[in-house]
């Protein structure tokens, strides 16, 4: 496909980037730590660590992993942490030791944790004490040799560290009981590592930096092998994209999405560190009132989120009273942003939500809207620098503009493949470097990509395609609706459309929803079944899990 999108790049954004500008993430991190050494890097609960402090602590952790635990290059180390200061320290310590980071959702059930540890062959884990009981419950099923445990306040300044840890453990009793013989205290590991020499390993761009697991729509976990070159390239691409709108060393980004998720990892951590920004860590964004209190006292210039997070904030009266004069960038991704949410956000903050698109297999950024966008445009943006896209039919043949088909992508950010899973790799990754995303999209003459839906979410009604996103968009226009998910339900006569709705108005009826849909949707697209719920199942970043809803329908 001709790169028609290049003509709509914001002034100052290059057509291509150099994916080899740094030989590894370690080189990139060392350059950042040097350039912004005294600048604040991460903050949590009134404790701020500078880039120099992150560098020193990560060096100590790297030395501990190398010398005391004697881990070898390429060994996987699991991080089972929310957004706390220990995360960036451990993250860069693992990478600098020549090891591979494997992020783990702290809210995993024992079954999910065991499945990921076994598939990866991981033998070392760092876990927050609040979730250590989950690790304990899988010890008879996995081969963990080294278990490091940290408490939420371990990287806070004294006496705040003591107060927070005591409150969490004894006053709020937020730490379930666990017994793990021989576990290692994270603070002790840092202290011991400080007395050992750190040996900088030789890292190549093709070495695996992250083994990032993704469940996808099938629920079958797969570990995407993301190399140092992949991650350096994507951070260079995203930095080039935001450069016209930012000032080096002066930005403050709100990091509510978990850093263990690829979106926040690249967008918040790597990209904004690259420009010397301060990451304001929100350990528990579900505590929406506490979250807003942090926003109230922070002159933040950027925030990332998913549709459900933006909607949750907008539904809080306290959020509507905040001062948004310093806000420059509101980046949305992870799931489609609904027009109703985008319009309310612009009205409240004065800034549009800039929608972006990515996937774990692409490190993740693929498309982003120009940051000088004046209003939400319903697209997922333009392919970023050094990225090619193509719209293909089921036979793999390229289609033209304004035609619906599967989105294929190619660029330096595309993964090396799935961990020890050649069949799944060959199913999505072509020999010429093209990655099949499984997403249905169109591209207009200006190069703007619009997402239609997930290929596997497509509903077939009497031979007609029904895209759940379209139905959801219409239902979300109803003022009483706070969340909605639409799936296809199999019946003896074929599929039917079913909508799951969370409403803030208990008087909202199924009849009212159907009547609303009749005014904006053709007959076969209107839900035949509607179910009201108090909440919908969500992923670690707040993305609604339609797979879970489908499984419930068939009794899995």
Closest CA to 482 of 506, 512, 454, 447: 506
In this structure, are 380 and 521 located in the same domain?
no
**Strand pairing of 252-255 and 329-332?**
unpaired
In this structure, are 418 and 485 located in the same domain?
no
- Alpha-carbon Rg of the chain, whole angstroms? 23
Distance separating alpha carbons of residues 272 and 239, to the nearest angstrom: 8
CATH number reported for the structural domain that contains residue 528 in this entry? 3.30.300.30
CB 301 within 8 A of CB 329: yes
**Is 392 among the domain residues?**
yes
Closest CA to 537 of 505, 490, 500, 482: 500
Residue 301: exposure state from Cβ atoms within 10 A (0-12, 13-18, ≥19): buried
- Whether the upstream peptide bond of residue 52 has omega within 30° of 0, thus cis, is no
Distance separating alpha carbons of residues 133 and 127, to the nearest angstrom: 10
- How far apart, in Å, are the Cα atoms of 109 and each of 115, 147, 166, 201? 10, 18, 26, 35
What's the pLDDT score for residue 395?
93
Count, residues in the chain: 556
- How far apart, in Å, are the Cα atoms of 2 and each of 7, 13, 194, 431? 11, 18, 54, 21
Report the 10 Å Cβ neighbour count for 171. 9
**Is 409 among the domain residues?**
yes
In this structure, are 464 and 497 located in the same domain?
yes
Residue 474: exposure state from Cβ atoms within 10 A (0-12, 13-18, ≥19): buried
**Is 308 among the domain residues?**
yes
DSSP letter string, 412-440: TTS-S-BTT-HHHHHHHB-TTS-EEEEEE
CB 130 within 8 A of CB 175: yes
What's the pLDDT score for residue 308?
85
CB 191 within 8 A of CB 207: no
In this structure, are 297 and 311 located in the same domain?
yes
Closest CA to 341 of 475, 453, 539: 475
CATH number reported for the structural domain that contains residue 351 in this entry? 3.40.50.12780
**Is 71 among the domain residues?**
yes
In this structure, are 88 and 56 located in the same domain?
yes
**Is 222 among the domain residues?**
no
Distance separating alpha carbons of residues 96 and 201, to the nearest angstrom: 7
CATH number reported for the structural domain that contains residue 147 in this entry? 3.40.50.980
Q: Which domain holds residue 113?
A: 25-203
Last residue of a domain, one of 435, 454, 473: 454
In this structure, are 272 and 379 located in the same domain?
yes
What's the pLDDT score for residue 65?
98
What's the pLDDT score for residue 467?
84
What's the pLDDT score for residue 556?
66
CB 543 within 8 A of CB 483: no
Write the DSSP symbol of residue 444.
-
CB 16 within 8 A of CB 385: yes
In this structure, are 410 and 502 located in the same domain?
no
CB 517 within 8 A of CB 523: no
Alpha helices in 97-143 (DSSP H): 110-120, 132-136
What's the pLDDT score for residue 12?
96
Last residue of a domain, one of 420, 437, 454: 454
In this structure, are 374 and 255 located in the same domain?
yes
Closest CA to 106 of 171, 42, 152: 152
CA dihedral 85→91→93→98, nearest 10 degrees, is 180
Alpha helices in 227-326 (DSSP H): 228-242, 262-264, 272-274, 288-296, 307-314, 317-320
In this structure, are 341 and 431 located in the same domain?
yes
CB 554 within 8 A of CB 491: no
Element (H, E) at 164: helix 160-166
In this structure, are 67 and 137 located in the same domain?
yes
Last residue of a domain, one of 403, 434, 454: 454
What's the pLDDT score for residue 453?
80
DSSP letter string, 316-371: -HHHHTS--TT--EEEE-SSPPPHHHHHHHHHHHSS-EEEEEE-GGGSSEEEE--T
Closest CA to 342 of 299, 372, 313: 313
**Is 223 among the domain residues?**
no
Number of domains in the chain: 3
Residue linked to tokens 């333009």 = 382
CB 131 within 8 A of CB 137: no
What's the pLDDT score for residue 402?
96
**Is 220 among the domain residues?**
no
Token pair of 417, please? 């493949």
In this structure, are 427 and 507 located in the same domain?
no
In this structure, are 433 and 532 located in the same domain?
no
> What is the residue-level pLDDT of the chain in tens, covering all 556 positions?
899 999 999 999 999 999 999 999 999 999 999 999 999 999 999 999 999 999 999 999 999 999 999 999 999 999 999 999 999 999 999 999 999 999 999 988 898 899 999 999 999 999 999 999 999 999 999 999 999 999 999 999 999 999 999 999 999 999 999 999 999 999 999 999 999 999 999 999 999 999 999 864 344 789 999 999 999 999 999 999 999 999 999 999 999 999 999 999 999 999 999 999 999 999 999 999 999 999 999 999 999 998 889 999 999 999 999 999 999 999 999 878 989 999 999 999 999 999 999 999 999 999 999 999 999 999 999 999 999 999 999 899 999 999 999 999 999 999 999 999 999 999 999 989 999 999 999 999 999 999 988 777 889 886 677 889 889 999 999 999 999 999 999 887 778 999 999 999 999 999 999 999 999 898 889 999 999 999 999 987 888 999 899 989 887 6
**Is 88 among the domain residues?**
yes
What's the pLDDT score for residue 217?
35
CB 224 within 8 A of CB 102: no
Q: What is the pLDDT of residues 447-483, one digit of tens each?
A: 999 998 877 788 988 667 788 988 999 999 999 999 9
């Amino acid at each position: 496909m001709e790169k028609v999108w290049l003509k709509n790049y914001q002034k100052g954004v290059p057509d291509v980037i150099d994916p080899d500008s740094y030989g590894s993430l370690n080189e990139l991190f060392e350059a950042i730590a040097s350039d912004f050494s005294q600048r604040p890097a991460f903050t949590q609960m009134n404790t701020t660590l500078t880039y120099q402090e992150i560098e020193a602590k990560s060096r100590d952790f790297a030395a501990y992993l190398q010398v005391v635990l004697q881990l070898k290059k390429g060994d996987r180390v699991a991080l089972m942490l929310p957004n706390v200061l220990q995360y960036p320290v451990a993250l860069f310590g693992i990478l600098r030791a020549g090891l591979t980071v494997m992020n783990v959702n702290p809210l995993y059930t024992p079954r999910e944790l065991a499945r990921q540890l076994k598939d990866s062959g991981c033998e070392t884990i760092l876990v927050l004490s609040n979730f250590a009981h989950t690790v304990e419950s899988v010890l008879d099923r996995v081969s963990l040799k080294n278990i490091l445990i940290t408490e939420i306040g371990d990287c806070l300044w004294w006496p705040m560290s003591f107060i927070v840890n005591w409150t969490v453990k004894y006053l709020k009793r937020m730490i379930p009981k666990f017994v793990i013989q021989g576990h290692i205290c994270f603070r002790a590991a840092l202290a011991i590592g400080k007395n050992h020499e750190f040996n900088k390993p030789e890292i190549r761009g093709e070495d695996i930096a992250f083994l990032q697991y993704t469940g996808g729509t099938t629920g079958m976990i797969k570990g995407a092998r993301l190399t140092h070159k992949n991650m350096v390239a994507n951070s260079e691409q995203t930095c080039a994209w935001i450069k016209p709108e930012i000032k080096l060393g002066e930005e403050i980004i709100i990091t509510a999405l978990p850093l263990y998720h690829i979106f926040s990892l690249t967008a918040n951590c790597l990209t904004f560190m690259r420009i010397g920004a301060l990451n304001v860590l929100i350990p528990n964004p579900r505590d929406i009132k506490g979250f807003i209190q942090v926003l109230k006292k922070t002159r933040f210039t950027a925030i990332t989120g998913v549709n459900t997070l933006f909607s949750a904030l907008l539904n809080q009266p306290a959020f509507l009273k905040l001062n948004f004069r310093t806000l420059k960038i509101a980046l949305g991704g992870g799931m489609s942003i609904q027009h109703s949410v985008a319009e309310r956000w612009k009205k409240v903050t004065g800034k549009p939500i800039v929608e972006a698109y990515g996937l774990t297999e692409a490190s993740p950024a693929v498309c982003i809207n120009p940051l000088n966008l004046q209003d939400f445009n319903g697209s997922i943006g333009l392919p970023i620098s050094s990225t090619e896209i193509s719209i293909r039919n089921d036979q793999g043949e390229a289609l033209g503009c304004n035609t619906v088909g599967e989105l294929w992508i190619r660029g330096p950010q595309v993964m090396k493949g799935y961990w020890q899973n050649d069949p799944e790799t060959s199913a999505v990754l072509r020999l010429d470097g093209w990655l099949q995303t499984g997403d249905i999209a169109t591209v207009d003459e200006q190069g703007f990509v619009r997402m239609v839906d997930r290929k596997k979410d497509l509903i077939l009604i009497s031979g007609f395609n029904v895209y759940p996103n379209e139905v959801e968009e219409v239902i979300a226009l109803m003022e009483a609706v706070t969340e909605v998910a639409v799936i296809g339900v199999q019946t003896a006569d074929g599929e039917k459309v079913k909508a799951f709705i969370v409403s803030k108005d208990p008087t909202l009826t199924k009849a009212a929803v159907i009547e609303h849909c009749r005014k904006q949707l053709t007959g076969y697209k209107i839900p035949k079944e509607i179910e009201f719920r108090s909440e919908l199942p969500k992923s670690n970043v707040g993305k609604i899990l339609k797979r879970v809803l489908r499984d419930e329908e068939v009794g899995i």
